[in-house]
C-alpha cells in the first residue's frame, strides 16, 4: 500500500522525470518526503518558484519529456505562473504540482488559500484538485497525459492532508498514453501549393523551429527553388550551419538581407513558423504556410494556402511536385547583401576597433563611455564555446548579439523565452539544462536587467553543483526598451540600472566571479570562465549606446531615432 504522494512520485519516476524544482512547504511535505525516498529523482530547491518553473520548462523543451515544478499553498503556487506561461507558449510539457490548504478549509478563505483551479485555468490545459485517494490515480493520469499530448502545461493541486492518505487496496498503477502521430496535408492541397510555386518567378522561404527536424528536406527545397531562406531565431539551431541559402533573421534582431529576400520573392513559403511580427512580413506576395497546428495558419499574415502537416514528410511530398528554378538571381542578390552586412558587423569584434581613426570617430557617437562592444563579447563566446555547448538567451539586446554573432555549429542547442518574451529566463533555463547533464557546457547570455530580477537563484547553481557559465551583458540599461523608445522618437527614460559589481556579488554567493572592463581582456576572461569546473559569473561592462539597426527602417523610425537623441541630450541625458 502506498500514499497518494508516493504514487505521484513513483509515476513521475516511471515517466523518466529525474529532477523536480520548487520550494518546500507544509502542504507539499508528503510529496517532498516521497521524493527524498525516491533515488531516481533529484529535488532541486530554488529561491523563487518562478526560477523552478523556467528550469522545468527548459528541461521539457530539451528532452520532449515531462518537466516538473512545485509550489506550495497560495503564494508559492502564484510564483510559478510566469515560468508556466513560458512553457505554455513554447508548447513544453510541464506538470506543476501545487499545494493547497487542508481539505476541510477549502472555500473558507483560509490563510494563504488560493483557488488554484481558477488561477491556472488560462495557462494550463488541465487543472484539477485531488480531493480523495479514490480519484488520485485517475487525475494523475489525466494531468500527465494532458501535458505530454498537448504538449503544454498541466496543474495538479494537492491539499496538505490528502497527500499522506493511503490509496485504496488493490489500486492499479497509473497508465500514461502518449501519441503524437505525423501528419500530411491532403493531396489536393499539395498539388495546389506546387502549382502556385511552379507558376511563380521567385520564392523566398521563412523557416522556423517547426522545421528543425527537417533540415535535409528544407535544404533540398531551397536548392530546387534557388530560394533565399530567412530563419527565425529559434531555427538557428539545426538550420544555420552549412546552409548556403540562409540570410539570417528578420524583425528587430534582423538585417537588411532578410528584407531584400522578402521583397524580392513572388511567393513566401513559410515552414514550421509562427513568426509573430506582422509589420515585418512583405506585402503583395502569395503566401503558403506549412504548420502542424491549424490555429497557426494565417494568424500573422494573410495566407493564400495553408498546409497542415509535419515539415519533413510534407516537404518530401511537395518536392516530387516542384519544378526546378534554375535562375539564382534572387538568391544571389540576397546572399550578397547578407555577406556584405556580416562583413561590416565583423569589423566591430576587433578589440582594437575603437583605437583606429574610424573607430575613434564612431566612438564619439555610439560609445562615449569607451566600454566593451557587445559584438566583441558575443563573437568571442562563439569562438571559445564547445561544439556541443547549450546556450540560453535573455529577452532583449543580448538576444540580438547572440543572433548575429553565435553560430549554431556542431551539436549546439539554444533556449530562450522566444514566445512569451519574458525577462529573467536565461539564468534559470541554464540551471534546468545543466541539471540534465552536469558535464555539458551551458552558457547563459544574461541581460543585467534579467539577471538582477531573479538574482537570488544564482545561489542554486552553487547549492546543487550546477556548473553554469553566466555571461552578463552589463550595459546598465534595459537595452531593448531603450531602443524601442528611441525608434519612437522618445528620449530614453526609466531604463538606466544602478548595478552592483555582479562578479563580486557572485563571489559572495560562492561562484567564481570575473569582471571585465577592457576589450583586450575579453578573450582571456572567457577562456578562464569556460575552463573553470564550477559555476561562473562573467560580468562584462558593455556599451549601452550600441546601435542595433534592424533590417528595415521606416522613415518615421529613422526620424524618431534622431529626435530622441537630441531630446536625450537636451532634456533628459538618459536618466541622469
Q: What is the mean pLDDT of the chain?
A: 93
Q: What pLDDT digit, counting tens, does each position of 250-269 carry?
A: 988 889 999 999 999 999 99
Give 560's pLDDT tier (boundaries 50, 70, 90): low
Say yes or no: do domains 187-340 and 350-572 share a fold.
Answer: yes
Q: Which CATH superfamily is domain 4-159 in?
A: Thiamin diphosphate (ThDP)-binding fold, Pyr/PP domains (3.40.50.970)
| Phi-psi map region of 293: left, alpha, beta (phi>0 left; psi -120 to 50 alpha) | beta
- Please state, for a pLDDT cut of 70, what percent of the chain lies above it: 93
Mean per-residue pLDDT, 44-67: 98
* The CATH number fitting domain 350-572, selected from 2.60.120.260, 3.30.56.10, 2.60.40.770, 3.40.50.970: 3.40.50.970
The pLDDT-based confidence of 547 (bands split at 50, 70, 90) is confident
pLDDT-derived band of residue 552, with 50, 70 and 90 as boundaries? low
Residue 534 has pLDDT above 50, yes or no: yes
Is 52:31 a contact under the CB 8 Å cutoff? no
Total residue length of the chain? 576
How many CB atoms lie under 10 A from the CB of residue 186?
Answer: 11
Over residues 136-192, the pLDDT tens digits come to 999 999 999 999 999 999 999 999 999 999 999 989 899 999 888 899 999 999 999
Tens digits of per-residue pLDDT, 109-145? 999 999 999 999 999 999 999 999 999 999 999 999 9
Intra-chain end-to-end CA distance of the chain, in Å: 67
Nearest CA to 149 out of 225, 72, 91 is that of 91
pLDDT of residue 550: 64
Backbone angles phi, psi at 19, to 5 degrees: -140, 145
Output the nine-digit C-alpha cell for 551.
533590417
The answer to whether residues 145 and 178 touch, using CB atoms and an 8 Å cutoff, is yes
pLDDT per residue as tens digits for the range 481-507: 988 888 788 888 999 999 999 999 999
Residues 342-391: tens digit of each pLDDT: 999 888 888 877 676 566 556 666 777 789 999 999 999 999 999 999 99
Domain residue ranges in the chain:
4-159, 187-340, 350-572
For the structural domain made of 187-340, what CATH number should be given? 3.40.50.1220
* From 56-70, 456-470, 543-557, the region with the lowest mean pLDDT: 543-557
Amino acid at each position: 500500500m502506498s500514499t497518494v504522494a508516493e504514487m505521484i512520485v513513483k509515476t513521475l519516476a516511471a515517466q523518466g522525470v529525474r529532477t523536480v524544482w520548487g520550494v518546500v512547504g507544509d502542504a507539499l511535505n508528503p510529496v517532498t518526503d516521497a521524493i527524498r525516498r525516491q533515488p531516481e529523482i533529484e529535488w532541486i530547491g530554488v529561491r523563487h518558484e518562478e526560477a523552478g518553473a523556467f528550469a522545468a520548462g527548459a528541461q521539457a523543451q530539451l528532452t520532449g519529456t515531462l518537466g516538473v515544478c512545485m509550489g506550495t499553498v497560495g503564494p508559492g503556487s502564484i510564483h510559478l505562473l510566469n515560468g508556466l506561461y513560458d512553457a505554455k507558449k513554447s508548447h513544453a510539457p510541464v506538470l506543476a504540482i501545487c499545494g493547497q490548504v487542508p481539505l476541510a478549509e477549502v472555500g473558507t478563505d483560509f490563510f494563504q488559500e488560493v483557488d488554484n483551479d481558477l488561477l491556472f485555468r488560462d495557462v494550463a490545459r488541465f487543472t484539477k484538485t485531488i480531493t480523495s485517494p479514490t480519484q488520485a490515480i485517475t487525475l494523475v493520469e489525466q494531468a500527465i497525459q494532458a501535458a505530454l499530448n498537448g504538449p503544454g502545461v498541466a496543474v495538479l493541486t494537492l491539499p496538505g492532508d490528502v497527500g499522506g492518505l493511503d490509496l485504496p487496496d488493490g489500486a492499479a498503477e497509473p497508465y500514461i498514453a502518449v501519441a503524437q502521430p505525423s501528419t500530411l496535408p491532403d493531396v489536393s492541397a499539395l498539388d495546389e501549393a506546387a502549382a502556385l510555386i511552379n507558376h511563380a518567378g521567385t520564392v523566398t522561404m521563412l523557416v522556423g523551429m517547426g522545421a528543425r527536424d527537417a533540415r535535409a528536406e528544407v535544404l533540398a527545397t531551397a536548392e530546387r527553388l534557388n530560394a533565399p531562406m530567412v530563419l527565425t531565431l529559434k531555427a538557428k539551431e539545426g538550420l544555420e550551419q552549412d546552409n548556403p541559402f540562409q540570410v539570417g533573421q528578420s524583425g528587430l534582431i534582423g538585417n537588411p538581407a532578410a528584407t531584400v529576400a522578402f521583397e524580392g520573392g513572388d511567393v513566401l513559403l513559410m515552414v514550421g513558423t509562427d513568426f509573430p511580427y506582422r509589420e515585418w512580413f512583405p506585402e503583395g506576395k502569395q503566401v503558403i504556410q506549412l504548420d502542424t497546428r491549424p490555429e497557426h495558419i494565417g494568424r500573422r499574415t494573410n495566407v493564400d494556402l495553408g498546409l497542415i502537416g509535419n515539415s519533413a514528410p510534407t516537404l518530401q511530398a511537395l518536392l516530387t511536385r516542384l519544378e526546378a528554378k534554375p535562375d539564382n538571381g534572387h538568391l544571389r542578390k540576397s546572399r550578397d547583401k547578407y555577406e556584405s552586412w556580416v562583413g561590416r558587423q565583423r569589423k566591430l569584434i576587433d578589440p582594437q576597433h575603437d583605437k583606429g581613426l574610424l573607430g575613434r570617430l564612431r566612438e564619439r557617437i555610439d560609445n562615449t563611455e569607451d566600454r566593451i562592444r557587445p559584438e566583441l563579447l558575443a563573437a568571442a563566446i562563439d569562438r571559445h564555446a564547445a561544439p556541443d555547448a547549450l546556450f540560453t538567451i535573455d529577452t532583449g539586446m543580448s538576444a540580438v548579439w547572440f543572433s548575429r554573432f553565435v553560430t549554431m555549429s556542431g551539436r549546439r542547442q539554444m533556449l530562450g523565452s522566444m514566445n512569451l518574451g519574458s525577462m529573467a529566463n536565461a539564468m534559470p533555463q541554464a540551471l534546468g539544462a545543466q541539471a540534465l547533464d552536469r558535464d555539458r557546457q551551458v552558457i547563459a547570455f544574461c541581460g543585467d536587467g534579467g539577471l538582477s530580477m531573479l538574482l537570488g537563484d544564482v545561489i542554486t547553481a552553487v547549492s546543487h553543483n550546477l556548473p553554469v557559465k553566466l555571461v552578463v551583458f552589463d550595459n546598465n540599461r534595459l537595452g531593448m526598451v531603450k531602443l524601442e523608445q528611441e525608434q519612437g522618437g522618445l528620449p530614453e527614460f526609466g531604463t538606466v540600472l544602478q548595478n552592483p559589481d555582479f562578479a563580486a556579488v557572485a563571489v559572495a554567493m560562492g561562484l567564481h566571479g570575473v569582471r571585465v572592463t577592457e576589450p583586450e581582456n575579453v578573450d582571456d576572461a572567457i577562456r578562464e570562465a569556460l575552463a573553470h569546473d564550477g559555476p561562473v559569473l562573467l560580468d562584462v561592462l558593455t556599451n549601452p549606446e550600441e546601435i542595433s539597426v534592424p533590417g528595415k527602417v521606416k522613415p518615421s523610425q529613422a526620424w524618431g531615432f534622431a529626435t530622441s537623441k537630441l531630446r536625450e541630450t537636451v532634456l533628459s541625458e538618459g536618466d541622469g
